Chains A and B, each alone.
Chain A
Amino acid sequence: GAGVSQTPSNKVTEKGKYVELRCDPISGHTALYWYRQSLGQGPEFLIYFQGTGAADDSGLPNDRFFAVRPEGSVSTLKIQRTERGDSAVYLCASSLGAGVGDTQYFGPGTRLTVL
């Protein structure tokens, strides 16, 4: 079956612009996670959804970052007034449930470059 997909694969934008990154999880997965991976670092948790609601957004760095999952499937990560420090690979993962034993399946990521 299809895995987690993310679009676009690459996004180049200018400082100050608004960007949206999309994640299509595996069908039937109720939990969806967003991570940010900077160069030379491991993934850093941003936010997680259980169904349509954000169950934990403690990793969002500031109020320029926002994510939605209106129908409990596709999710969009939105970044306002982008800064050069936002440049990173943004990863999405989904799992059947949100328990620690539920395997997270990762997408290939969106590489965001802010000029």
Chain B
Amino acid sequence: AQSVTQLDSQVPVFEEAPVELRCNYSSSVSVYLFWYVQYPNQGLQLLLKYLSGSTLVKGINGFEAEFNKSQTSFHLRKPSVHISDTAEYFCASYEGKTGGSYIPTFGRGTSLIVHP
């Protein structure tokens, strides 16, 4: 069974500083990796995804992530954060199953707290 590990439960950072949220996944034949953001009192929203091709993936709101197969990682980065980036971030790995479905396994989440 696949697994996703988010190493930091909470990441405090000052506004305009860079940030990296770490995600490691269990190795699988086919890897599809996603990052979602959950703002307070809102549903999860897709930030970016890696399906194939370029290992550097750019998403919304200035976020990017790099797929590293040798380190089984998919860390999320932003060069300069804003107060509005304060939210919960979830990394997810999708696995193809018999019958054609793709079922995600989510990490426990990382709470990004941006201080002024």
Contacts and interface: CB of A to CB of B under 8 A. Distances in A.
Interface stretch (A62-70, A73-81, A102-110): A102-110
A111 B36 CA distance: 20
A42 B94 contact: no
B45 A42 contact: no
Interface residues of A, number: 27
Chain A interface SS verdict (over half): loop
A2 interface: no
A101 B92 contact: no
A42 B23 CA distance: 13
Dominant secondary structure of chain B at its interface with chain A: strand
A98 B45 CA distance: 17
A42 B35 CA distance: 12
A109 B106 CA distance: 16
Given A43-B44, A100-B51, A106-B45, A56 B101 contact: yes
B106 A43 contact: yes
Interface string A33-51: 0000000111111001010
